Structure 1
């Protein structure tokens, strides 16, 4: 995106406000990705801050040929994976921190149960498949952006995404909230 490239040029020229714009643009989707990787809000917040520092330090390495968003995600995800290896961060169970504003307690319960079950199903996937699934559907990256972000081929992205969805369907058939729903209709 040319707008991102303009902000990158401004940051490299010393404009700190331009970097604040980059942070504000990407902090929420990047936090969501990291949170889904580590399943711990505090660790995710720490990793997000460290990732933005890493991006800032490496900004001069961005060649502005590919999408900035892909480059940013690649730097942030690689930083998180490095931290997993270095510090042996445990991927912990998700803490329910979302507030759902709906009319009835039954709807609130069903939505929370559905969300928890989906998180459990996604957590069963291998790391590479889970990450691709999250980048595609939670962060709405295109296949090309995922290729760029993870430095893998389009065939690998498609195959891993297909396998991930197939495994999710199989796990859903084994029981739980989604299994019960599929029996009804």
Structure 2
């Protein structure tokens, strides 16, 4: 029954009703931890670091619920907190690429097809991971999480025009890098 309540109602219950705090926050966590983890996994390109950052994200969300502006989308706010935690981790630890052995194996029909798709997936992941953090964040929020430019702007604290610019720059960089690696027409063979 708590799961069916809108985010704003759950936040209000967390803020005002000690008896319902745990259940209401659990509902918020259950609803938003999946998208936040997915975002962090793509931003950091490391599942273990993404899990650590997810814990830190929801610790910060819990500690700062009183600062949440209920006029904003709660999802955008959580993803903004996740972005800040993820970027802090990147700055603190430096960008580290996962080795091919650390990546989850693809589950496909034949070994040749699986190897080819895994290689293409790895090249795409490396291209996304090599984007500057601001462009990578916008790309992941738009292409993976499906946020609008308005939601992205609210999440990362920039204008819609800046979010659009960063998305365009990210796509141009990805297209260039994928062409160089022969994954798109017009590049090296």
Say yes or no: TM over 0.5.
yes
Q: TM-score, normalised by structure 2?
A: 0.85
State yes or no: 1:81 paired with 2:84.
no
Structure-2 residue corresponding to 1:90: 94
1:112 aligns with 2:115: no
Structure showing greater relative contact order (alpha-carbon pairs closer than 8 Å, 6 or more residues apart):
1
Q: Could you say if the C-alpha distance between residues 111 and 84 of structure 1 is closer, same or farther in structure 2, counting changes exceeding 3 Å?
A: closer
- The unaligned stretches of length 5 or more in structure 1 are none
- Length, aligned pairs only: 178
Question: Given the alignment, which residue of 9, 13, 29 partners 1:10?
Answer: 13
- Asked whether the equivalents of residues 51 and 76 of structure 1 are also in contact (C-alpha less than 8 Å), the reply is yes
1:43-77 per-position Cα deviation (integer Å, ceiling 9, x unaligned): 22111101101000001111200111111111222
CA contact (8 A) 1:37 1:91 kept: no
Q: Which runs of 4+ in 1 moved over 3 A?
A: 82-85
For residues 13-58 of structure 1, give each alpha carbon's deviation from its aligned partner in whole angstroms, at most 9, with x where no partner exists: 2321121111112222211221222222222211110110100000
Deviation at 1:84, TM superposition (A): 4.2
Shift of 1:120: 1.3
Alpha-carbon RMSD: 2.0
State the match for 2:181 in structure 1: 175
Query: Where does residue 71 of structure 1 map in the other structure?
Result: 77
Question: Is 1:122 equivalent to 2:128 in the alignment?
Answer: yes
TM-score in terms of structure 1 length: 0.86
Contact 2:105–2:118 (Cα < 8 Å) also in 1: no
> Any stretches of 5+ residues in structure 2 without a counterpart?
none
